[in-house]
Amino acid sequence: MKRHRDISGREERKRNDTHVRTLREEYGDRFAPRARGKTTLLNVKESLGLKADSSLNDVLKRYGIKKKAA
């Protein structure tokens, strides 16, 4: 799966307003299984007791999901 990169070539982080349904397309149904599709990544982080500046990788670890290779 292709990743979005900024002008410098660095991979961009997922934004906190990304919807769960979008993340499930990439990481499967195990991602935030009790959350609605329109729930945002920020809300998922808060429900897990993580700070807003936590990474998506921190969330994936909580759900036992391994990050897919680029």
pLDDT band at 2 (very low <50, low <70, confident <90, very high): very low
Domain residue limits, the chain: 20-62
At 70, the pLDDT band (50, 70, 90 cuts) reads low
pLDDT at 30: 96
Per-residue model confidence (pLDDT) at position 24: 96
pLDDT digits (tens, 9 = 90+) for 5-64: 555 655 557 899 999 999 999 999 999 999 999 999 999 999 999 999 999 999 999 999
* 13-19 LR contacts (CB < 8 Å, sep 24+): 13/55, 13/56, 14/41, 14/56, 15/41, 16/40, 16/41, 16/42, 16/45, 16/52, 17/41, 17/42
> DSSP secondary structure string, 38-60?
T-BHHHHHHHTT--TT--HHHHH
Q: Is the model's pLDDT at 69 over the cut of 90?
A: no
